[in-house]
Amino acid sequence: MSSARAFKYLPPRVADQIRGLGISSRRPMQGGIQGLHRSPDFGASVEFAEYRDYIEGDAPNLIDWSVYAKTDRYMIRRFQDETSLRASVLIDASASLNYRQTGPVTKFEYACSLAAGLMYLLVCQGDAAALSFFTDKLTQRFAPVASTETLSPILLEMEKVEATGAGDIEKSMHEAAEMLKQRTLVIVISDLLQPTAQLARGIQHLQHNRHDVTIFHVLDAAEIALPMHGLVELRDMETSEKLLIEADEIRPRYAKAVQGYLAEVSRICTACGANYFTVETRTPMIETLAKRANLF
Amino acid sequence: MPFFLTQPAMAWLLPAIALPILFHLFFRLRRSVQEFPSLMFFLRIDPRLSAKRKVHEWLILILRCLFIALFILALARPLLGTKGSGGSVARLVLIDNSGSMAALTPGGVSKLTLAERATQKLIDSGKKGDVTAVELMIPDPTATIPHGFDASPAALRDSVEKLPPSDGAAPVAKSVRLALSSLNTAITAERELHIVTDLQRKNWSRGDLGGEVLAPNVRIIVHYIETAPVTTGSVSIEPVETAAHAIPAGRIIPVRVTLQNHGPATAHVRLNTTDDSGKNVSHTAEVGPNASIMLTVTFSFANPGFHWAQAWVEGDVAPTANRACLGFWCTDVEKVLFLGTKSDFAALPYAVAPGGNSDLSGINAAFIGQDQLAAGLSAKPLAAALTWENWPADGAAAQALQDYVRHGGTLILSPSPETATTVSRPAADWIGARLEALQSPKDPEPITLLQDGDAIWHDLRNAEGRPSLGLLRAFQYRPIKLGADWKILATSAQGAPLLAQRNYEQGRVLASGLAFSPKWSSLPLKAGFVVLIQNALFGGQSGTVPVRMMKAAEDYSFDFTGEQATIKSLAGSALQWQGSARDFAGFPRTGVYEIKQQDYLNWVATTGNADEAVPDYFPLGPVPLLHDLPHDTLPLVHENDLADTELGQNSGLPLYRWLLLVGLVVLLAETWLANERSSDLGKRLFHALLPSFFSKKPAGAKTGSFKT
């Protein structure tokens, strides 16, 4: 980061701490340039892939003469290609992300910080990262960047974005799946407040298009523990619908329902081959990034 | 079963029941709204949330209201029923200690003794939680009865042992009122007023209890003590009138007393008198059945100051009213100055000092000239007498005369009997009166006496209370021309004022248009003439005499109500008392008492009340005085006759303890319900106890639908 300005979502101290982390993909990626990631194609890396018979037209220098000496056959040794990674970070910008009760920041601020950290890591390891915000559709898109210089404008723009309106995660995922033409590491950062069946359809669409999907489920601890007491009238931040509850009375059942929901989401993600992380806004961002970085 | 409140004023607090409802509504309005990311989890888990919670809230609200209602009701001390419930009893025994209670019962004991025993029986009958108090109808400073309901039964029992009978008449209505008031201070379920009395008709016919309302838990029981019939003579003594003014020392004091026989047989009694000098005199008397006689006894005291005497009837069966104590205030031998010669005043000097000296009246008559007037008046004589014609010409003498009257002297003005002229020296202007021309009617004119209540007619009134001196005629007279402030005492048939008096600052002026000569009127020849003149001399002094005569048990008012007083008896009933005058109970018996307050001495002489000797009693039955108050009249022949039904065994059931207990249970239930969320057991119980329809899922309710 050569910018003299301290970014809201990526302070220099945080950037320094996360610089050593790396992000990889479960699936082979198709990058534009030579990179650190496995490609579905064969290339010139040092990683052996397979032997095949020499066929006419192959360059003679590809023949493995040691094998010829032993088997009297012309065999060619092939190596795995390594390529750069394309990543697309999708941030949920619906109004429910503005919630903050026990954490130091709102869920949206945490999501933005997490996205900034991820993009910074990707750029640092030579990959390209794009950014999109969505509510009930993709609302704002930033083209992929592959250097810190080109990342800076995006970080500045992120600070201007506000979470507002109702969200539709499935629809946004469908739209992203259609938009991304190449294999991409899709990172979704959201509170996932939508029925699990709809979520599953969105994730499956992305997976079907051979994208590697990682989902960060951002929650405030109060959403799980329900810390208020007595009679409380709640208002839905997206629909403005109101509900009178006796918090102490329903807390256990509420917590059970939330835990069941989280387990269901986790199960769906696993079934779809997506990486799923539940993140509380109280968790330091470097810990969250480290979870993802150490995954493979 | 009747239900009533013993402290109904507490019912005014009942609107406080609405407080929890007001608080509930207030806090409901102030309930905060919190934003939350999504309601989908709430809608998923429990769409019946509100209904259940409302039931919970209303239950708590009802319990809170119920607790307040029970608490207020408990404060109001409700009672259930009046019979046989066994609640605590406050019992006040009101003992009639009037003079008539000294008489005997058919059983041979005095009624007061039987009343004491019955009272002790009532005290002993108290159960645990009961309280008892004893009051006397006639307050007695020698009695040591503890006041209020806090006394121990043993102390109370001892205090009513051998109560001395009084000589007074009981203020029944007043004492019943006070007893009911005192009874209302007791904090018990049931209250009983026991009146132990002989229902003597005179006592129980005085006063009125109108307006007195009996509380539902108060019961009045009159224990009627029968009196042994009187078969012999029963004589009471009562002084008719005693001198209310100072009496010159050495003067013979006649006191008329009435002896009244209340029995059916002739009474042969002896009337004894004694005084503080030790002089004893005895008279025998015979009083016919239901008749009365009047006797005159005399006393004489040589020295000025306070003196007392006693008179009592001996050989009589009357239990009371057979003793009278008398008090007198004697001054030194007085002097009346006559300006002129004896003939100028005709019979007046003889009325002032019968016999020519002070032996009979304690007054000397001194005749002086005008040059001696100022010096004579400086000695402050009892009175000064002048003739209208001889008004002092000397200015100093006239001024001395005015100063004398101004400072409390008595001036008597009369015309000279021998003066025929109508021309005379006018009296000074401050007199405010002058004589007119001599009138000599052809026929003697009757004299009319006025101002019936004036002190000058003391001892001169007839049975109708009007002044009477027999047939009075005026043969000649000089009408008095009176100014303002004069009070006419006698007039001629023509209405001309003949005798008048006025106050002049602290003194008095008596003006006469008649010379006190038989040639002018028949007045000097009348027996009451001496009395009239003596009254004229002493009439203005009654207020200065520090002696008060009263009947036993009458109210006594101290000169300094809030000050300390020391009282000791000089004769008659023994009494030694010291304390605040406000706390003094009174003089229940006959006696002579010296009262000291600050540096002043007063004396009180009390006599018995003849009404108390009258053997006339109400029969057993409803008491007329208590006609507005429900009561039971029960015969009391022996203290053991007191049955359980009379000893407060029947009483209402006090509910306040039960109400407090139920209130406590309600409070515990409220506490449990309000905190049931913190207890798993409580929660399970709560949900188990809720009606099942609250647990059923309403048709069409949202069941876990997520936001879209």
**Alpha-carbon gap, residue B11 to A295, rounded angstroms:** 77
Residues of chain A with pLDDT under 50: 1-3
Contacts (Cβ under 8 Å, ≥6 apart) of B567? B575, B576, B577, B578, B584, B593, B594, B595, B596
- Test B37 with A235 for CB contact under 8 angstroms: no
Q: Domain B235-331 falls in which CATH fold?
A: Immunoglobulin-like (2.60.40)
Q: Helical H runs in B8-78? A: 19-29, 40-45, 49-75
Position B686 scores a pLDDT of 55
pLDDT in tens, B110-126: 999 999 999 988 888 87
pLDDT-derived band at B191, boundaries 50, 70, 90: confident
Residue pLDDT, tens place only, B49-90: 566 667 887 888 899 999 999 999 888 877 775 544 445 788
Mutate one of A243, A251, A262 to test the B interface: name it (highest B CB count within 10 A).
A243
The pLDDT, as a whole number, for residue A54 is 87
Identify the pLDDT of residue B358: 81
Q: Please give the C-alpha separations between residue A220 and each of A105, A192, A214, A283, B547, in angstroms, as whole numbers.
A: 9, 12, 20, 10, 101
With cut-offs at 50, 70 and 90, classify the pLDDT of residue B653.
Answer: low
For A254, the closest of B45, B706, B707 (CB atoms) is B45
Contact B38 A242 (CB under 8 A): no
What pLDDT does B422 receive?
53
Contacts of A166 in chain B (CB under 8 A): 707
Q: Minimal Cα–Cα distance from A108 to chain B, Å? A: 12
Residue B643: pLDDT over 70: no
Residues of A in contact with B39 (CB under 8 A): 234, 236, 239, 241, 243
Domain with CATH 3.40.50.410 in chain B: 90-229+615-651
Size of interface A-B (CB pairs under 8 A): 89
* Residue B488, pLDDT score: 95
- Which residue, among A108, A218, A244, A265, would best test binding to B if mutated, counting the most B CBs under 10 Å from its CB? A244
Put simply, the answer to whether A233 touches B34 (Cβ < 8 Å) is yes
Give the separation between CA A154 and CA A145, rounded to whole angstroms.
9
Phi-psi region of B399 (alpha: psi -120 to 50; beta: other; left: phi over 0): alpha
Return the DSSP state at B104: B
Q: What is the pLDDT of residue B30?
A: 61
Cβ separation A243–B44 shorter than 8 A: no
Spatial distance between the Cα atoms of B291 and B151, rounded to a whole number of angstroms: 48
Chain B neighbors of A242, CB-CB under 8 A: 33
Q: Which residue has the higher pLDDT, B142 or B77?
A: B142
pLDDT score at B682: 55
B383: tokens are 């009175």
**B377: pLDDT strictly greater than 60:** yes
Give the ipTM of the model, two decimals please.
0.81
For residues B610-622, average pLDDT: 87
pLDDT at B701: 36
Q: DSSP letters of B497-511?
A: EEEEEEEETTEEEEE
Given a cut of 70, is residue B198 above it in pLDDT?
Answer: yes
Task: Give CA–CA dist A252/B678, Å, rounded.
Answer: 12
* Whole-number pLDDT of residue B647: 54
Using CA coordinates, name the residue in chain A closest to B34: A234
B43 to chain A, closest Cα gap in Å: 9
List residues of A whose CB lies inside 8 A of any B CB: 96-97, 99, 107, 166, 191, 193-195, 220, 223, 228, 231-239, 241-246, 248-250, 253-254, 256-258, 261
Cβ-defined contact of A237 to B40 (cutoff 8 Å): no
Q: Name the nearest CA neighbour of B694 among B50, B44, B62.
A: B50
pLDDT at res. B672: 85
Q: Identify all chain A residues contacting B46, using CB atoms and an 8 Å cutoff.
A: 250, 253
pLDDT, residue B329, reads 86
Residue among B31, B44, B707 whose CB faces A236 most closely = B707
Closest Cα in chain B, distance from residue A291 (Å): 26
Cβ distance A243 to B39 less than 8 Å, yes or no, reads: yes
B297 has a pLDDT exceeding 60: yes
Residues 6+ apart with CB under 8 A from B190: B79, B82, B87, B88, B89, B90, B217, B219, B648, B650, B651, B652
Q: Say if pTM beats, i.e. exceeds, 0.90.
A: no
Burial of B706 (0-12, 13-18, 19+ CB in 10 A): middle
**Under DSSP, is residue B320 helix (H, G, I), strand (E, B) or coil?**
coil
CB contact under 8 A, A231 and B53: yes
Neighbours of A282 (CB within 10 A): 13
- Give the chain A residue whose CA is nearest to the CA of B686: A249
Nearest-CA distance B45 → chain A (Å): 7
A256 to chain B: closest CA residue: B45
Confidence of residue B28 (pLDDT cuts 50, 70, 90): low
Q: Do B706 and A195 touch (CB under 8 A)?
A: yes
Contacts of A15 (CB under 8 A, 6+ apart): A1, A117, A120
Structure-block tokens of residue B490: 């006698």
Rounded to the nearest integer, the mean pLDDT of chain B is: 83
CB-nearest to B35 from A237, A248, A258 is A237
Provide the token pair at A106: 């709102």
**Rounded distance between C-alpha atoms, residue B578 and residue B624, angstroms:** 39
Model pLDDT for residues A121-170, shown as the tens digit of each residue = 888 888 889 999 999 999 999 999 988 889 999 999 999 999 999 999 99
Residue A109: the pLDDT is 95
Above 50 in pLDDT, residue B706? no
Average pLDDT over residues B588-614: 89
Interface contact flag, B49 A244, Cβ < 8 Å: yes
Reported as a single tens digit per residue, the pLDDT across B245-286 is 778 788 788 888 899 898 888 888 899 999 998 899 998 989
Chain B 63-122, CB below 8 Å of chain A: which residues? none
Q: Which residue has 């699936």 as its token pair?
A: A27
Task: Give A-chain residues touching B56 at CB under 8 angstroms.
Answer: 246
Q: How far is the CA of B83 from the CAs of B3, B132, B188, B583, in angstroms?
A: 12, 20, 15, 39
Q: Per-residue pLDDT averaged across B288-316, rounded?
A: 89
Segment B185-198 mean pLDDT: 83
Residue B366 carries which DSSP code? E
Q: What are phi and psi of B686, to 5 degrees?
A: -60, -45
The answer to whether residue B146 scores a pLDDT higher than 60 is yes
| Exposure of A273 in the CB half-sphere (CA atoms within 13 A) | 14
Nearest residue of chain B to residue A233 (CA atoms): B33
- The minimal CB distance from A253 to the residues B36, B46, B52 is found for B46
Helix (H) or strand (E) segment spanning residue B635: strand B631-635
A42, A79 contact by CB (below 8 A): yes
**Average confidence (pLDDT) over B190-196:** 88
Interface with B, mutate which of A192, A246, A261 (most B CBs under 10 A): A246
Q: Give pLDDT, residue A34.
A: 65
Helix axes A247-272, A196-208, angle to 10 degrees: 20
Q: What residues of B are in contact with residue A96 (Cβ under 8 Å)?
A: 37-38
Q: Which runs of consecutive H residues, i.e. helices, occur in chain A?
A: 12-18, 65-71, 107-124, 148-158, 169-179, 196-208, 221-225, 247-272, 285-293
b/e code A267-281 from CB counts within 10 Å (16+ = b): ebbeebebbbbbbbb
Confirm or reject contact between B661 and chain A (CB < 8 A).
Answer: no
> Where do you find CATH 3.40.50.880 in chain B?
334-544
User: B275: exposed, middle or buried (C-beta count within 10 Å: 0-12, 13-18, 19+)?
Assistant: buried
What is the per-residue pLDDT for A193? 92
Instruction: Nearest chain B residue to A262 by CA: give it.
Output: B41
Residues of B in contact with A97 (CB under 8 A): 37
* Residues B259 and B312: beta-carbon distance below 8 Å: no
Cα(B639)–Cα(B158) distance, integer angstroms: 16
- Shortest CA gap B702–chain A (Å): 12
Domains along chain A?
12-29+84-293 (3.40.50.410), 35-82 (no CATH)
pLDDT, tens only, B387-409: 988 888 878 888 999 999 998 88
Nearest to B143 by CA among B121, B164, B124: B164
| 8 A C-beta contact, residue B275 and residue B307 | yes
Distance from CA of B694 to the nearest CA of A (A): 15
pLDDT of residue A3: 44
Cβ–Cβ contact B45 with A under 8 A? yes
| Overall CATH class of domain B90-229+615-651 | alpha beta
Q: Tell me the mean pLDDT in the region B518-534.
A: 91
What is the CATH code for B334-544?
3.40.50.880
> Taking Cα atoms as reference points, which of B464, B465, B539, B530 lies closest to residue B243?
B539
A252 to chain B: which residues are within 8 Å by CB? Answer: none
Cα–Cα distance, B166 to B227 (Å, whole number): 17
**C-alpha–C-alpha distance, residues B662 and B657, integer Å:** 9
Contacts of A245 in chain B (CB under 8 A): 42, 49
User: Is A234's CB within 8 Å of B33's CB?
Assistant: yes
